[in-house]
Structure 1
């Protein structure tokens, strides 16, 4: 028994490491793309990979729902069936708007969008796997699912990139890799879900409503994190969009580097008695990592630029710290808002929507999009202002026992899993 407990504790501490490994693996595809593709095609590839970011919304949503339901033994009889239908519907939605995507991103063909759509069902099934492992506290399975998802998407994307030297090949390869990863995890996932007694009182409507709420929380963040890159692809020339895409790698690194902090502290954030202490600890940790990333890019910009893009963008090094500032600020804001979600304070999501509206207004109404540097500087300013507001609200929050009792009574309390970078 002692060895078993020790093993469980060990695997739990490895969850953040698995998340970091998956994130680091994803950058292999970015780096290889920067070296194998010309500037215009590189920007095109990064724009399509941002489409996959949006495609992960159903995955993160179902992960949240499955985690809560397996943890509370409220698994309905149609959970897996609904998950499959959500994956198919997500793919269909992308295909339905594919003409608009191709036109907006100035893509040469539909195949890249098709690859992005095909990623959705596999991502949803992998979300079910991670949610079931988290809800059942099977940390070993969770680590395997997280790493396997990273390996599948990156290995498939790299293979497609090497074979085709095109953005479409990278996306189609990613879809194949994710499908293989989902197939490997299907058996363990069904066994974990089967450990919870089926609750026949759980209607499909309730499952769908809960998934929509979770999708809103995850989706609005993923939309904001990919909006600037999508707009850059739309308004800049091919080479300028490629320059922005190279800098955007640092934006994403600064954003996703602190993600394990949320995974480690979320249980404490959900406890009303420990919430304020955990919030302060988390903000200090995430803020420290963000500051270190900004400082590193400011001091070692030339080295970082060479690692990210080789010698294709020799003038990138001077502005990398701005990308780090925007990504790091968004990471701090994300933690502050997830801290609110832990005690059912969903109103903070209005801050994220305000950022989205501000970026659209700045770039399309005010015309602050004439150069790549202008775009990222504007993003950094908007995010910084919003981050200050989110942090002030987070530090001022004082949840009570009544909040916890009310949440338990209406069944709306959610477990928000630590997210993994999906490009």
Structure 2
């Protein structure tokens, strides 16, 4: 996962340096929308991992349902995204329609990879899962960077991302090549399939809210700031995403424990302590070593945002904590998590639309994130004290 995240970060860094602030703002906006459009990937992965780990006797029914639903959802979402490409091109002020079409096509492999990774994670098949993660990050920077070297345009960037997105699907398909099961005929298996689908919908809704909260601010920036300032904000978000992705492995490791009644509270506390420590260290590093951080986000073209990189690091730390709390809610199939995060998205879009500077937008997003974190921490405390099922689906 570390290599995957470094690869993803490196692609953003290469794109920022080769494209410059104005064009990179558009690419950053497309990558943010890709995260939002492919949120079913995260829901499928979370559901598959939790259900397979918790109910090994139902593995056949769960796997068949997940893999079938994955392909159907991927093709449907991809078709919708391609159909919406004119609106995306207008929203992000792209140079043409083709980059938006390529963005829609990327949704298919990204979604399929999520279902495959969830099966591998639930079965604790760490080596194949590691290969899938490696094939997400490394090809993106190699193929995406290579395309940008050939032609530094928005279209070239998305061609590289699309080509790289199919490699993890090929690896996942090969790893799961013998995982075809007989038709499900028992009443129990049919109920398992229905419940898996329900949980996938619920998980996807909660994760959609989180992904929107953590990604749509760059879309807001693209609309309320001029091209140069929006590019500076997008450059600062490279630091945000680096801090968010750095400790992401902690969520993967702790998720099974958070799903277990006797271990949940301790797992959440360990995660909060660890992520808070990482966040504080990253903020201090971005403040004290802003010159070095500037090199990694694109160089001198972004020097206007150098003094605020610590603020973007703080955003990343807040989002990392928020991500852990969202998955803690998913582990208990809690419904209030998605409501609180959705309210945060609405608040961020409404308040962000009033911003007129890079700092103003970043501070607005930070305040919204802190509020949502506080609400979710209070929710965890309430669950721990009451020990009831009243907040469950």
TM-score normalized with structure 2 length: 0.90
Shift in CA distance, 330/78, structure 1 to aligned 2, threshold 3 Å: closer
Shift of 1:271: 1.8
Superposed CA offset, 1:43-100 (max 9, x none): 1111111122123212112223333454432237565343222111111111222221
How many residues of Structure 1 are paired with residues of Structure 2 in the alignment?
384
Q: Which residue of 2 aligns with 1:390?
A: 376
User: What is the 5 A alignment of 1:183-202?
Assistant: 183-191=170-178, 193-194=179-180, 199-200=184-185, 201-202=189-190
Shift of 1:400: 8.0
User: What is the 5 A alignment of 1:251-330?
Assistant: 251-330=240-319
Is residue 196 of structure 2 the alignment partner of residue 210 of structure 1? no
Is residue 73 of structure 2 the alignment partner of residue 86 of structure 1? yes
Is contact 1:233-1:241 (8 Å) kept?
yes
Is residue 127 of structure 2 the alignment partner of residue 143 of structure 1? no
Is residue 343 of structure 2 the alignment partner of residue 354 of structure 1? yes
**What is the alpha-carbon root mean square deviation over aligned residues?**
2.4
Shift of 1:237: 1.0
Taking the aligned partners of 2:194 and 2:85, their CA distance within structure 1 comes to 29
Is contact 2:21-2:235 (8 Å) kept?
no
Superposed CA offset, 1:248-269 (max 9, x none): 1011112222211111212221
Taking the aligned partners of 1:77 and 1:372, their CA distance within structure 2 comes to 47
| Mean Cα deviation higher: 349-358 or 240-249 | 349-358
Superposed CA offset, 1:177-229 (max 9, x none): 111331233121232x34x7753343776554333222112211111111110
Q: Which residue of 2 aligns with 1:121?
A: 108
Is residue 364 of structure 2 the alignment partner of residue 378 of structure 1? yes
Shift of 1:175: 0.8
Taking the aligned partners of 1:302 and 1:29, their CA distance within structure 2 comes to 20
Q: Which residue of 2 aligns with 1:57?
A: 39
Shift of 1:327: 1.9
Shift in CA distance, 102/274, structure 1 to aligned 2, threshold 3 Å: same
Is contact 1:273-1:400 (8 Å) kept?
no
Shift in CA distance, 81/269, structure 1 to aligned 2, threshold 3 Å: closer
Shift in CA distance, 154/198, structure 1 to aligned 2, threshold 3 Å: farther
Taking the aligned partners of 2:70 and 2:62, their CA distance within structure 1 comes to 12
SS of residue matched to 1:83 = helix
Taking the aligned partners of 1:102 and 1:308, their CA distance within structure 2 comes to 25
Shift in CA distance, 210/341, structure 1 to aligned 2, threshold 3 Å: closer
Is residue 154 of structure 2 the alignment partner of residue 172 of structure 1? no
Is residue 227 of structure 2 the alignment partner of residue 227 of structure 1? no
Q: Which residue of 2 aligns with 1:22?
A: 4
Shift in CA distance, 400/175, structure 1 to aligned 2, threshold 3 Å: same
Shift in CA distance, 399/269, structure 1 to aligned 2, threshold 3 Å: farther
Is contact 2:206-2:326 (8 Å) kept?
no
Shift of 1:292: 0.8
Taking the aligned partners of 1:163 and 1:316, their CA distance within structure 2 comes to 28
Q: Which residue of 1 aligns with 2:225?
A: 236
SS of residue matched to 1:202 = helix
Taking the aligned partners of 1:362 and 1:400, their CA distance within structure 2 comes to 34
Is contact 1:53-1:222 (8 Å) kept?
yes
User: What is the 5 A alignment of 1:34-53?
Assistant: 34-53=16-35
Shift in CA distance, 159/146, structure 1 to aligned 2, threshold 3 Å: same
Instruction: State which of 335, 338, 346 in structure 1 corresponds to 2:324.
Output: 335
SS of residue matched to 2:300 = coil
Gaps of 5+ in 2: none
Shift of 1:299: 1.4
Gaps of 5+ in 1: 1-18, 413-423
TM-score normalized with structure 1 length: 0.84
Taking the aligned partners of 1:399 and 1:257, their CA distance within structure 2 comes to 32
SS of residue matched to 2:29 = helix
